[in-house]
Structure 1
Amino acid sequence: MSKGRVALVLSAVVLAVLMALLPKVIINKEKDGALTATGENAKPSQQEHDPNHPGHEDHAHETEGAANSADVHITASPAQLKEIADLRDKFTREGGAQAKAKLAEELGQKYASIARHDSAGYYFEQLAQLRPGERSLQKAADQYFEAATFAATQERTEQFGKKAQGLYQQVLKNNPANQDAKINLAMTYIAGENPMQGVTLLREVIAADPKNEKALYNMGVLSIQSTQYDRAVGRFQELLAVNPKHVEGTFYLGVALAETGQKQEAQKAFMRVKELTNNPEVEASVDSYLQRLNSAQ
């Protein structure tokens, strides 16, 4: 959302929390050109990690000291790293397809649990090659999608996004009705060079499933990001008709209503957010937004 188009002057904390509420599938361009994504309890960004290096040895050398760095992955204990290194060695030596597939799946799960999404995607992709099927393909796609979402640079966002795209396309080839895969594929297009192709896919999902919360939410946030606040109001109203307790949707409805001059309705939406969550940061953001709404009257 462009600050220049904001009718009410938001404090830094309000803007920060608003950005923090963005769904993780929405990717935002920062001043330096890097693409980052934010979401509630967002994971730390992927740091200079090549998913195609042999055996992913770099993770094996991470230490417990990483826990003190806010810009490193979710902390992995030395025991976890050793377990992964041992599994990786077994995977490399294993010659049987069935046993190798089992090890690939276990490695994918282990890496995903510590937010090494690119490595998780790599091993789930190996699983998909050894044990083809929609489930394994989507596991790989979802992990590359996460890697793209939290990548530290635009280059890595594009790299992982393209991997996710190709895998989601295979998923949809096997099952065109997989709406979750279609939504994530749409978001990779929106963050890339074909945004309208992504919007078209989201519209297809909503046409097929008018109550799809994920699609409605993403369409609403995209409308806010493009300053189409009237459309955003409509999307979030549709979302809340499906799920009246959707915290982020209620918050963004308040934002959209405020931007369209519907101050009283915006106040109601923000008060509803306070009823739905006890998150102190979100409550502080809402209070600050309410204060500005009241002072603008």
Structure 2
Amino acid sequence: MKRSQLILIAIGVMAVAGLYALPSVVVDNDSKADSVSQEDESTSAASTDPVAMHDAELSPDERLQINTLKLQISENSSAEELKSSTEEIAGIYQKLGKYDSAGYYLSLGADQLPNSGLAEKAGNAYYEAFSFALDPEKVSYTAEQTRKYLNKVLENDPTRLDLKTKVAMTYVSSSNPMQGITMLREILDQDPQNEDGLFNMGVLSMQSGQYKRATERFEELIQYHPDNLQGQFYLAVSYFESKQKNKAKAQFEKVKSMTKDEMILGSVESYLDKL
């Protein structure tokens, strides 16, 4: 799931967040303290070694499979064997949702095989990790790795606006957000109908409280990409926040007709109850 999807959920369930924030189980204080301590240690390990905290979560079979593949990656391995083993290891971590570990192994392969296509896969894996990251150090690290490997692809093919959009979004979360916004504007200058560019500019407008501008971005988005459910939902939220109640109601009803996702439908109903 991308950062934009997480933002959708965060905004969409704002009205019912209290319900989901309640603990589903009762824990004693000692266990909670131990859990927090372990989480702190894991966070620290993640910032220095993205694989360290995930290895303990592997099943015996997964650990054996990864160790076997590691043995296959040797100085005597052919380029094809190295690429295949690297992708298999990354695939295991990706299935578990451990995208930074997947990115780590893909980046090792990309460094050894610069023309293998692994740089793009490494950058995309790190971008997924960036999308989920909450710890500032991890956000910074995964953003940097995303840029490092996706820029390698862009150096050879600057027409890849999909990758440029991802790089731009990593800058938006950095100490220099205007660099990311400038890149998104450049993307829309090149391709005014660019789906990712319009969507992300709309989200950024919402985050800055510019809901009128957000409605313009999302109206453009769904004009060119009517099946973009997130854009349709965000447009409704933007209408709601900009006090355009009739448009908001009609738009939320449209979103209801487009999905059966219970979380989204619950969010829609919570907004409709306020109109």
TM-score, normalized by length of structure 2?
A: 0.79
CA distance in 2, matches of 1:15, 1:248: 22
Out of 190, 198, 203, which is 1:208 matched to? Answer: 190
Distance apart, 1:170 and its partner CA: 1.7
Out of 77, 85, 95, which is 1:96 matched to? Answer: 77
Look up the equivalent residue of 1:272 and give its one-letter code. Answer: K
Look up the equivalent residue of 1:184 and give its one-letter code. Answer: K
The equivalent of 1:271 in structure 2 is 253
Distance apart, 1:11 and its partner CA: 6.2
- 240-249 vs 228-237, which moves further: 240-249
The equivalent of 1:50 in structure 2 is 46
Equivalenced residue count is: 240
CA contact (8 A) 1:134 1:175 kept: no
The equivalent of 2:87 in structure 1 is 105
The equivalent of 1:120 in structure 2 is 102
Look up the equivalent residue of 1:241 and give its one-letter code. Answer: Q
Distance apart, 1:267 and its partner CA: 0.5
Out of 39, 57, 61, which is 1:62 matched to? Answer: 57
Q: Structure 1 residue 175 and structure 2 residue 150: aligned?
A: no
Distance apart, 1:51 and its partner CA: 7.3
CA contact (8 A) 2:199 2:221 kept: yes
Query: What is the correspondence of 1:247-286 to structure 2 with a 5 Å cutoff?
Result: 247-286=229-268
CA distance in 2, matches of 1:178, 1:134: 17
CA contact (8 A) 1:14 1:288 kept: no
TM-score, normalized by length of structure 1?
A: 0.74
Q: Structure 1 residue 192 and structure 2 residue 195: aligned?
A: no
Other structure's SS at 2:227 match: coil
Q: Structure 1 residue 228 and structure 2 residue 210: aligned?
A: yes
Other structure's SS at 1:276 match: coil
Other structure's SS at 1:96 match: coil
CA contact (8 A) 1:14 1:286 kept: no
Distance apart, 1:219 and its partner CA: 0.8
Look up the equivalent residue of 1:13 and give its one-letter code. Answer: V
Look up the equivalent residue of 1:198 and give its one-letter code. Answer: G
The equivalent of 2:132 in structure 1 is 150
| Structure of higher RCO (CA pairs closer than 8 Å, 6+ residues apart) | 1
Q: Structure 1 residue 12 and structure 2 residue 15: aligned?
A: yes
Distance apart, 1:155 and its partner CA: 0.8
Q: 1:175 to 1:127 in 2, by over 3 A?
A: same
The equivalent of 1:74 in structure 2 is none
Other structure's SS at 1:292 match: coil
> Unaligned stretches of 5+ in structure 1?
1-9, 18-46, 64-76
CA distance in 2, matches of 1:115, 1:209: 32
CA distance in 2, matches of 1:154, 1:134: 31
Look up the equivalent residue of 2:230 and give its one-letter code. Answer: E
Distance apart, 1:82 and its partner CA: 2.3
Look up the equivalent residue of 2:215 and give its one-letter code. Answer: V
Distance apart, 1:80 and its partner CA: 2.6
Look up the equivalent residue of 1:190 and give its one-letter code. Answer: V
- 101-110 vs 142-151, which moves further: 101-110
CA contact (8 A) 1:148 1:156 kept: yes
CA distance in 1, matches of 2:47, 2:86: 14
Q: 1:152 to 1:234 in 2, by over 3 A?
A: closer
> Unaligned stretches of 5+ in structure 2?
1-12, 21-41
CA distance in 2, matches of 1:259, 1:191: 24
Q: Identity over aligned residues, as a percent?
A: 37
Q: 1:190 to 1:284 in 2, by over 3 A?
A: same
Look up the equivalent residue of 1:260 and give its one-letter code. Answer: S
Look up the equivalent residue of 1:200 and give its one-letter code. Answer: T
Look up the equivalent residue of 1:270 and give its one-letter code. Answer: F
Look up the equivalent residue of 1:95 and give its one-letter code. Answer: N
Higher helix share: 2
